[in-house]
């Protein structure tokens, strides 16, 4: 590990035992939680850290001269350092706290919007989450930006040749997901960055899934911005982070005004703090940031390759058991994809499938998954999604398949 600590042997059953909620029952059945792409559960380490901070170490951070404030500030800034190491950023000053991935993307889009000219182009892909679509639409509506779309192939992979053709002298930003929240596709983000920079454009990577299930090395990716959200990384809600190259953050104007983000305030002028504090107006999410730091420290004790192999094995086990079911359509089967199994059941609405599976204790997601352009591209009006995490087991995968087959039988 980057901080020199010892890697703990990865045992999914030992990991699972650290999550209190996974021992409960739903509808008289053991909970099988497969909605991890929406939000992950929290380990005891995070729960205990939040409680301990509230009970014995909470105060507002920065500028305080008393013991509690100093302790809280140290823990708060330590969490920033943990995020920086997790992303392999060069410095903690490149990590901006936000309330989630959505706010992080909006922060960048808002700053770019003050500089963009009518006709400037923003490239996104057809597989993006709405959080990486709508902020750019706001620039289309308000500033005359043009959105151009990277096509998705039938197997769920990006059409990289088409992407290369989209790049041009008017391209200002390329904003793509590291890993699709619907298809599980892990995109070649380093190559995407290389091509964009060659065309003179900046790159933002939505890492809300990729930070969990891929490898978020921002120096290897060479992106200008990378965003993540805490609640998918086994941390609290209401916390996320924006990584930015030093020069990229320096070039962005402030996103919000208030305390903390200034150097001086006078009646006729104001000067702003350096990044990251320039973008952190007001009292920050102190407990949430500390909780995210603890979650990442907990997560990174396990070998990342072992975790990824385990998650993929669960996905493949479920897929193998479902082979030959001609009533099932799996969306996204790109090579090297992450452990997300999204599907449509012939003759059944996704919401009905999910509700019936819930009767058997299996929690899955149903709907458009905040990715309407992708649903249209794949020719579905809704789909059901099972997403695996490191605490899931082969028994969970089997329970999922059994519940899905039972659900399908309601419609024949």
| Positions marked catalytic | 370
Alpha carbon of residue 139 to chain centroid: 22
Name the burial class of residue 13, with classes exposed (0-12), middle (13-18) and buried (19+) by CB atoms within 10 angstroms of its CB. exposed
Q: How far apart are CA 122 and CA 167, in angstroms?
A: 9
* CA–CA dist 227, 211 (Å, integer): 9
Distance CA 361, CA 343 (A): 19
Q: Where are the beta strands (DSSP E) in 258-308?
A: 262-265, 270-272
Judging by beta carbons within 10 Å of its beta carbon (0-12, 13-18, 19+), is residue 190 exposed, middle or buried? middle
Distance between first and last Cα of the chain: 52
Specify the DSSP element, H or E, that contains 251. helix 246-251
C-alpha Rg value of the chain to the nearest Å: 22
The distance from CA 212 to its chain's CA centroid, rounded to whole angstroms, is 7
Residues 6+ apart with CB under 8 A from 407: 345, 348, 352, 353, 356, 357
Question: How far is 302 from 307, CA to CA, in rounded Å?
Answer: 7
Q: Please provide residue 39's backbone torsions phi and psi, each rounded to the nearest 5 degrees.
A: -170, 135
- 209 neighbors 230 (Cβ within 8 angstroms): no
């Amino acid at each position: 590990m980057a901080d020199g600590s010892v890697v703990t042997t990865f045992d999914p059953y030992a990991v699972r035992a650290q999550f209190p909620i996974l021992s409960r029952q739903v509808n008289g059945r053991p909970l099988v939680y497969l909605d991890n792409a929406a939000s992950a559960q929290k380990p005891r380490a995070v729960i205990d850290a939040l409680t301990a901070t509230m009970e014995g170490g909470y105060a507002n951070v920065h500028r305080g001269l008393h013991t509690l404030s100093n302790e809280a500030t140290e823990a708060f800034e330590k969490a920033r350092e943990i995020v920086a190491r997790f992303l392999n950023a060069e410095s903690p000053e490149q990590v901006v706290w936000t309330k989630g991935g959505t706010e992080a993307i909006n922060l960048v889009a808002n700053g770019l919007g003050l500089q963009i000219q009518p006709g400037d182009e923003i490239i996104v892909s057809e597989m993006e989450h709405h959080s990486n679509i709508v902020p750019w639409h706001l620039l289309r509506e308000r500033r005359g930006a043009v959105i151009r779309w990277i096509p998705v192939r039938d197997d769920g992979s990006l059409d990289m040749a088409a992407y290369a053709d989209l790049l041009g002298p008017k391209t200002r930003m390329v904003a793509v997901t590291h890993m699709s929240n619907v298809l599980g596709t892990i995109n070649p983000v380093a190559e995407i960055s290389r091509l964009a920079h060659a065309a003179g454009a900046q790159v933002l990577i939505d890492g809300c899934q990729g930070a969990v299930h891929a490898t978020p090395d921002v120096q290897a990716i060479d992106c200008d911005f990378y965003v993540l959200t805490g609640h998918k990384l086994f941390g609290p809600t209401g916390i996320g982070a924006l990584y930015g190259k030093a020069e990229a953050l320096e070039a962005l104007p402030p996103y919000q005004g208030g305390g903390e983000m200034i150097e001086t305030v006078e009646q006729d002028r104001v000067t702003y703090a350096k990044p990251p504090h320039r973008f952190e107006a007001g009292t920050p999410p102190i407990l949430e940031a500390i909780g995210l730091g603890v979650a990442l420290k907990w997560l990174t004790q396990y070998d990342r390759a072992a975790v990824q192999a385990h998650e993929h094995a669960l996905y493949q086990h479920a897929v193998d058991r479902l082979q030959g079911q001609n009533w099932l359509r799996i969306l996204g089967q790109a090579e090297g994809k992450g452990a997300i199994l999204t599907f449509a059941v012939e003759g059944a609405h996704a919401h009905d499938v999910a509700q019936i599976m819930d009767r058997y204790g299996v929690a899955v997601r149903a709907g458009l998954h905040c990715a309407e352009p992708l649903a249209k591209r794949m020719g579905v009006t809704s789909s059901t999604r099972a997403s695996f995490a490191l605490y899931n087991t082969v028994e969970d995968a089997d329970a999922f398949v059994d519940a899905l087959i039972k659900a399908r039988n309601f419609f024949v």
